[in-house]
Amino acid sequence: MASFTGKSGKCSNFGNCSLADARTTVDVPNGQDFVCTECGKPLLLMDAGPQAGGNSKALAVGALLLVLLLAAGGIGWSLMKKAPASEPAPPVAVEQPQAPPKVEPAAQPPVSGNCSEADERVGLCRRPAQ
């Protein structure tokens, strides 16, 4: 089996060439003009690299964007989770003014024997020692 030693290209004469409309790759052997075999227009040179993997640059950029998007979402979620919820302020303790304690005078019965009837009724008078 002989190996192909030519160039590959695609026709860009869309609307006027069925090979261009079908995006068909045209193989041109060495020594022949690099033109479309159907319409005769110049072909666009195709890269000689592997074509089975699709556009690997676009896939790499897409994967990188996906990773960055996931990382940004994870960071945002963790920051939102750690943020303290708005807590109500603790109540402020306000001291109520207190009335001074009532100081009752010491209940001392009068020293003298002059005691009123009211004082005697409440027990403020001394009884003479007997």
Is residue 9 a contact partner of residue 44, using CB atoms and an 8 Å limit?
Answer: yes
Q: pLDDT of 5-19, one tens digit each?
A: 778 999 999 999 999
β-strand pairing of 7-11 with 43-45: antiparallel
Q: Please state the separation of Cα 105 from the chain's center in Å.
A: 72
pLDDT on residue 2:
46
pTM, to two decimals: 0.34
Q: List the chain domain ranges.
A: 7-45
Task: Evaluate if residue 111 carries a pLDDT over 60.
Answer: no
Among 25-29, 57-61, 74-78, 106-110, the range scoring the smallest mean pLDDT is: 106-110
Q: pLDDT of 42-101, one tens digit each?
A: 999 887 655 555 678 889 999 999 999 999 999 988 888 765 666 777 888 888 878 777
Q: Which residues contact 128 (CB under 8 A, 6 or more apart)?
A: 113
